[in-house]
Structure 1
């Protein structure tokens, strides 16, 4: 009997075939007729002539895409907001028409531009989510993932011998604005000018000794101007506004200090830089406090808020590799170093380190409070978890919100979860407005916005106006097309696209000048704008001749890719290609090549990429002004806003506007008091409690909003919970019928479709690879955690009360969930190695230099994953795809 006979084999065979099936279905969405193949409510495309000259039939429209068809009919069309949408008017006349128009625009793919597009990343994310959903929902009988070997252990962080400053390196540098000193200069007879200078300590990766420099605020302004000149058009971190506000603290003289203290946010206030204000800055003064053994003194800490915002600014600069290596920043951090520090300067730096340590300690206290409260409430959390994961759990939880008008009326386990949530919110508010380096500026902006916001006016508008009339008026304002002209919303979007297009076209014009041959440039332009069939023939020619696409393009005689080049022009292209290849192979040095020729070929590649981008922008603008686009936007806004407007009107949401206003008033007063309290180094405990009391005072106001919305929802939220629970039920219980992979495998072997021995070898290799990947992911995660612990020291567990929840509680395959999380983490660590943001930055560089940097980054990413187990071939197993699709189609149709 040709059965699989192994739970691991069965599990991973299902995953291999399911992954391949979903890849095929997502790829089919590139076809303009893809939605027609999903079946009703979309229109069939029988004998419909498409733009690429092929005729599409609807004979398989309900069976070709079983996965996507199931997702649409079960989870998209049944979404509560979309249930009342007219199938013909919305899905056929709006969504289908828009999607077909988008597909026919042929927006370039990642392959076209040799870079990772946003659509590709989004597609990868959707693919992972669908595999996660259907690998859980489509059961295959006795199946089981490979277990994690018991020998896997958590490595302990090695003892760190370097200073803590060296552990904070970003792009080879670590920086801290460690202190502020007052400098007095004699200007005229009997006149002196006093100003503050910030003491900046910089560590470099290759040098252990730090560099300390003193810089006035004006030097930061000059640095910003120099960076803007050095990198024109590049977005730069905003320079904090000038703030001369001092702080008075109660402190003591420590025996030693570290100029690299933990970061802390600060507040920034606008003030001018005038000579008259200079007398506001006085040297630190101290006066003895009551006699204690700890030598307590009061100190005026100058420009503390400014110090913190400038530190955040410098660290933001270091996060950008280009800015970190810029000439302007190097001179700013290293020129005119201080040879020694005075005792007053050392005392000032010690005091500021103490303040930084206190802020870090306050944040740790919030985390510790959350942990203690979670441990205290673990029994209640277990009860809440049980209710959450069982059938109709969400509906029961939200029904309690509907029935109870205050927090005190809720079941005890719900109150405890809300209590833990208050601690988290308190910690977030403290971090936003007090403990982060940029908190002072953020707090100033928040106060300004709060003072200007017309809460009372908005309350009365919501209270007395008709929300549906307001919605229609808003739609008319933004989406109306007077006299057939573009709507306001279309003009807003088109303005952004036009600005981007102008920049691209300006770059194209500059490159054309550098190339200096209109025939070569026109050939690239005509290729980009040629039809898909012509482009495909040129790509096939490049593959057959094993040459670069640009070389094949220049040699082709395709009439659509005119003009035909003469001998000298072709020779110039060939020489440029040889020089480019030689330069890249030698990494720009060590081999003889013509640099001008190499750059010329780089300009060809740049022109091809930029012309493709320009075409994409033109196509998007054409799509934006298409009638189907504006109609779809109007329908979507109406569909989603109308039920919410009814709920908010019935629930008297206008009262919640003033509740939020009072919460904002209280928050601002609390933060202002916290800023005064943080000046005393013994007030940390009260500071934590102050923010906890703030959220406690307003919890019932926020809960009243939730209660009123659910009490007057007209069944909207109940439908939404039922929709979510239907997904959870599919995950936990699966489809109505299970896959029979043993029969599938046996029938394929008997029919001669499958080579049994070869298939089993591939399948065992897949099982082994998944076991290796499980260990690899675990060890990599442990190394990352160990490294963070070594850098940051002992970390406090936040005590997340639902931390014991896992994907398995909701029916998900935990291995699949970990795999998705690993892929996302890898994307973040690898960065946009070939992403659009990086590519756009490199367009400003010399093309040869840009390509060398791009390849260096690719090698670094490849090195990062060099030891990662590589997936085995599955060519034989994929011969089961057709019959597997049939089983899936039949099971999902019955579900």
Structure 2
């Protein structure tokens, strides 16, 4: 290393040095994780995997181990040391890794399963690995490994005074949650996706009425008879459609709103037309149309709603209220999932559904308004009930925080504190005999579970469907058969026999004269049949796209898409690299690259490709010009590509189920992970607990059914809270007795091992406070020649990227939390839970456990971004800012920073080799 190079590193500020370390670790993890997707990756992790000899016959374990220093360390210290694995003999462990796991991974990587990112978006090298997995490992290593000036950075506050004030304001507002439902004309408070908001504000009973003919006949709604139209359905769902528009100067937001009636059959027709128009896109489960429920008949208003029934209009004559309420909420959830996709929002099928001029009206009738107000009050009560759960949880949390003071201090300084809590469980089978901390923690857990039950089964738009599915499963589950097996037989042997049956090889019959029958296991046959059903559906979607959406003029591009799905991994990586270098959409790169045959050679083919590019530009600006017809060509090709990817993955999975490596992995994994648990549970009177669980499920399903269909409409929030919480109180002793019995009969100390394994993470995170030199990473050049000016420029760009990204997310979440910014009542509830649960450790911060608070927030932001991007709900404005940020940084590049990867890799190999926890 030159004196000038050393001087550059020495002059870095603590912030620059911290972010240099962060970038180098992230870059190294990205490279290493990418290596794990290639054949032969297992030997790069080192022992206990087999190491193949090189061409000269050398078998250097150390060289292999050093090629992936970060992942090798994590694998050796935490994966191979998991208690269920180490509970086996060294010989069995070695056999599991070398003869079971390694062959399966090698086979799997040869298949080249596509990533979820590839199915949706453009790919860059940074996105080739799973974001969440990368972010978790990065947080772990960035928190444990330090540089000379790293502790100085971690002890500094990096928030401006203005930012701190905003955070305080956010925390204060979440403590004072007040539910205010947006009114019919409070458009600025509505929730918008792709500049449109949809609500189903009322349900109109039309079963006993006839309506004057509209200006034109609509066969989808009525049967025509002379001057009137006789209803062919019983209920109309009144939709409120609100569009958000910018004025010409761009500063003022305008809103346009109208109402339109739609009955359930029209929702079915919409679903069918969208599936025909967008077969690839609509294959997602999130776009499934809700089904009707027989129990969705509403309630007798005079018996259950005296306060509300008095408000009913004298002219309405309604004896029932809130009929079809569960279906209303489910259909609203369905529509809101549809508008998350711009191509659907601007499609002619969807626009016709929400904008039929023959049906639109501007104001509700008196009866509609009465019905709307009742349903609004019902929704508001659902949120108030969640607030009641929060209020009760907050009171317990205050007590828990007080009881936790000593525990938190011990947990920070003495990681074995967790083990001592489990030892208390060993002493008594009753929660009443546990320590005060455990009793309070038990109360908090029950409140969390009760709130989750309420939110999942009673308060969400799709709660009715979830409850119906669970009740159906509960009715069909053979509790008595399982109870008899657990009581009168050896469950270990029974499970073993079932596993042997499922994995037993049986000959299959071939009906083709050219093919021989093969030997496969029953489980493989079952899953193969299920995958064949998916493949049949994919073929239907591809046929629909080819014949109805894409004419033969574009066959050459369809062939290129099909050819891409058969490419080797290395060529796919080259195409991804080309896409990144050109800053081009990945699908456009697939359609134009020279690496795929048939190539675009004729002027006619080039003309067609230019048309695709124009369609892509229209697709990219769909929300601006709102003309979906211009983008249909690109969208249809993209759907064809995505379905082909799913088809390829399904074929690979089908092939994988036929391979003996998967069968061996399943059998050995069950032997290692499942059977030890069964042995322990068998000694803990599992049949008694199972019967108690059945009784609990009986009570839970019964209470939820009554609450969902009747009682939720007239019980006050505190009564609903008491109903669900009381159910958990009633059954808690059974759970604690089971936990006690399991722990007592855990002769192999599996659970104690899991606790110690968890404590190992805490030890490693805090090692820098005990022994700095053990985890100090020396960043040096070691003869690497740098362009010092460009090096500093690139480092500052990476630093600014991280800081600016943190600011964007902080601003985004802060704006969501402010009243008047379109935040939903559910968002306020969720923020309230975050605030309540955040009090668990009081003033204790992530830094007390060795994790930098800002890095932890960045970890949460990355998870939030991945989740929002996956379900299509990432705010468009935020998405544009994030993309612009990445583009600006990519222009500056990382060439000088990447020169340090070789030296940092060597340093990591030396440093991590000597750490043994």
User: What range describes the TM-score normalised by the shorter chain of this pair?
Assistant: 0.7 to 0.9
CA RMSD between the two structures = 4.9
1:240 to 280, 289, 292: 292
Query: Residues 690-839 of structure 1 correspond to what in structure 2 (within 5 A)?
Result: 690-714=723-747, 715-734=749-768, 738=773, 744-745=779-780, 748=782, 751=783, 753-754=785-786, 759=791, 762-763=794-795, 766-767=798-799, 770-786=802-818, 791-792=823-824, 797-798=832-833, 799-800=836-837, 801-802=839-840, 804=842, 805-831=844-870
Report what 1:885 is aligned to.
905
Taking the aligned partners of 2:773 and 2:241, their CA distance within structure 1 comes to 61
User: How far is 1:655 from its partner?
Assistant: 0.8
Q: Are the aligned partners of 1:402 and 1:711 in contact in 2 as well (CA < 8 Å)?
A: yes
Q: Which residue of 2 aligns with 1:296?
A: none
Structure 2 residue aligned with 1:653: 686
Matches for 1:169-248 after TM superposition, within 5 Å:
169-171=191-193, 172-181=196-205, 184-185=208-209, 197-198=235-236, 200-205=238-243, 211-212=258-259, 234=283, 235-242=287-294, 243-247=296-300, 248=303
Q: Does 1:408 align with 2:437?
A: no
Q: Which runs of 5+ in 1 are unaligned?
A: 260-281, 286-298, 590-594, 836-856
CA deviation after TM superposition for structure 1 residue 138, in Å: 1.8
Whether 2:104 is the aligned partner of 1:98: answer: yes
Q: Is the 8 A contact 2:479 2:694 kept in 1?
A: yes
Matched, 1:154 2:209: no
Cα deviation 1:842-875 (Å, max 9, x = unaligned): xxxxxxxxxxxxxxx9998324654689556543
2:818 is paired with a residue of what secondary structure? helix
**Kept in 2: contact 1:223–1:328 (CA 8 A):** yes
Tell me how far 1:217 sits from its aligned partner.
Answer: 5.7
Residues 111 and 817 from structure 1, CA distance in 2 versus in 1: closer, same or farther, beyond 3 angstroms? closer
Is the Cα contact below 8 Å between 1:355 and 1:681 reproduced in 2?
no
Displacement of 1:94 in angstroms is 1.7
- Offset of residue 319 of structure 1: 2.0
| 8 A contact 1:199–1:215 mirrored in 2 | yes
Return the offset for 1:830.
3.6
> Structure 2 CA distance, aligned partners of 1:596 and 1:200?
28
How far residue 727 of structure 1 moved from its aligned partner, in angstroms, is 1.6
Once the two structures are superposed, the pairs formed by residues 449-598 of structure 1 within 5 Å of their partners are: 449-483=473-507, 484-505=518-539, 511=546, 514-515=551-552, 529=566, 570-581=602-613
Larger CA Rg, structure 1 vs 2 = 1
User: How much has 1:646 moved relative to structure 2?
Assistant: 0.7
How far the C-alpha of 1:395 sits from its partner, in A, is 0.9
Output the CA distance in 2 between the equivalents of 1:765 and 1:520.
39
1:214-240, CA deviations, whole angstroms, 9 ceiling, x for partnerless residues?
A: 566666666666666666664522222
Q: Are 2:660 and 1:627 equivalent residues in the alignment?
A: yes
Aligned equivalents of 1:320, 1:606: Cα separation in 2: 16
Distance 1:433 1:393 in 2: 36
Matches of 1:323 and 1:597, distance apart in 2: 14
> Does 2:21 correspond to 1:14?
yes
In 2, the alpha carbon distance for the partners of 1:94 and 1:744 equals 39
Change over 3 Å in CA distance of 1:808–1:532 after alignment to 2? closer
Name which of structure 1's ranges 308-317 and 503-512 shifts more when overlaid on structure 2: 503-512
| Match of residue 123, structure 1, among 105, 118, 130 | 130
Given that 2:401 and 2:840 are in contact with CA atoms closer than 8 Å, whether structure 1 keeps it comes out as: no
The corresponding residue for 1:431 is: 455
State the number of aligned residues.
816
- Within 2, Cα distance between the matches of 1:32 and 1:555? 28
Offset of residue 819 of structure 1:
1.2
CA distance in 2, matches of 1:573, 1:552: 15
Hey, what does 1:371 align to over in structure 2? 394
| Displacement after TM superposition at 1:496 (Å) | 3.9
SS in 1 for 2:208: strand
Match for 1:74 among 65, 73, 77?
Answer: 77
What is the CA distance between 1:730 and its match in structure 2? 0.7
Deviation (angstroms), 1:22 = 1.7
Superposed displacement of residue 70, structure 1: 1.0
The normalised TM-score by structure 2 is 0.76
1:803 positional shift = 5.2
- Contact 1:18–1:131 (Cα < 8 Å) also in 2: yes
Q: Deviations over 1:302-336 (max 9, x none)?
A: 3x252232232133223213665566665665553
- Give unpaired runs (5+ residues) of structure 2: 1-5, 174-179, 211-224, 245-253, 508-517, 622-627
Shift of 1:372: 2.6
From 311, 316, 320, give the equivalent of 1:301. 320
How many Å apart are 1:28 and its aligned residue? 2.1
Q: Distance in 1 between matches of 2:784 and 2:462?
A: 68
Residue 635 (structure 1) shift: 1.1
The answer to whether the 8 Å contact 1:576/1:597 transfers is: no
CA distance in 1, matches of 2:370, 2:561: 66
Look up the match of 2:307: 252
